[in-house]
Structure 1
Amino acid sequence: MSAKALARNLRDEIAHLKNEQGINAIQSDDLLAYLNRVIDAPEEEVDPVKLEQIRAQLQANVEDRKAQQSSALEMFRSVITAGQNAIKTSLLMNGGATIALLAFLGKLTTENPGKLSVFSGSLMIFTFGVFVIGLVSGLTYL
């Protein structure tokens, strides 16, 4: 019997004696006799089947929590990988566009050098894009 169960039994017994029998004082011998009866009473056994059910439920809860944690970790890894792939793709596209525009401008300067200033803004945008993507790619490792 736990201490709480003993305290509850003692409280209930004293309340019963006071309310129903009108006893306001308890002799120490009577209290000791009651406590000896409680101590000598057979222990209440915990049902082994119920105990195993509780253990199984707790183990299932632990395994469920591990699965949730593992799933959350994998989701985080996939987000990081997707972000890195997006950065690589952006770098490849901006770099390719810059090189293609440079090749076009190189061909244009041999044929019509006056049109070169029209495409300089586009070249600056793609070059700035490559710079920013390179900067973002470097910051992902920090």
Structure 2
Amino acid sequence: MEAIIASAIAVLGTLLGSGITLAFQQRTTEKGHQFARDERLRQERLDAYSIYAGALVNYRRCLVHLWFCLHEQPPPEDADEVRIRAFDLRASAQEALFRAQMLTDDVALSRAAEEVLARITALYKVDTRTEVDERRRDTRDGIHQLVMTAKRHL
């Protein structure tokens, strides 16, 4: 009888040990999967935010050039050609914005990203060199601030 009880206890102990081991393995596996998902999302955000910032810089540079084409005599380049490039760069910036917005849960970051794009779009719509220089500084600082804000979400 004692042998049967000892055998049953041994089987029960083995089953209990196996169950505990399985629970720990499942928990460890789930933590590993969660870490991988979090890291993948972090990398996607890093890519999206970087691409958006780069698109803003290119769009901004093109609009500054457009301002000079519209206001300098003789213009350094045909303004219509530069305007077409600016439209293409704006479309690229908008696409990058949409991707960044899809990857963030932060409403304030999303709005800030939209606002920087709007400020850049208005950059060349001024009459004087002083105004364009002020907007250049403002939009450069806006891009920098957006990057610093996005960095906190990585």
TM-score (normalised: structure 2): 0.55
Stretches (4+) displaced over 6 A: none
Q: Which runs of 5+ in 1 are unaligned?
A: 1-41
Which residue identity lines up with residue 89 of structure 1 in the other structure? S
Q: Give the match for residue 67 of structure 1.
A: 28
Greater RCO between the two (CA within 8 Å, min separation 6)? 2
Q: Give the match for residue 120 of structure 1.
A: 83
Asked if the contact 2:52–2:97 (Cα under 8 Å) also holds between the matched residues in 1, the reply is: yes
Q: Deviations over 1:84-127 (max 9, x none)?
A: 11111111000000111122222333143361112222211111
Q: Calculate percent identity across the aligned residue pairs.
A: 5
Aligned residue for 2:5, secondary structure, equals coil
Aligned residue for 1:45, secondary structure, equals helix
RMSD after superposition: 2.3
Asked if the contact 2:55–2:89 (Cα under 8 Å) also holds between the matched residues in 1, the reply is: yes
Q: Deviations over 1:37-93 (max 9, x none)?
A: xxxxx5832423443233222211111110001111111111111111111111100
Which residue identity lines up with residue 80 of structure 1 in the other structure? L
- CA–CA separation in structure 1 for the residues paired with 2:95 and 2:88: 10
Q: Which runs of 5+ in 2 are unaligned?
A: 106-154
TM-score (normalised: structure 1): 0.60
Aligned residues: 101
Rg comparison, structure with higher value: 1
Aligned residue for 2:45, secondary structure, equals helix
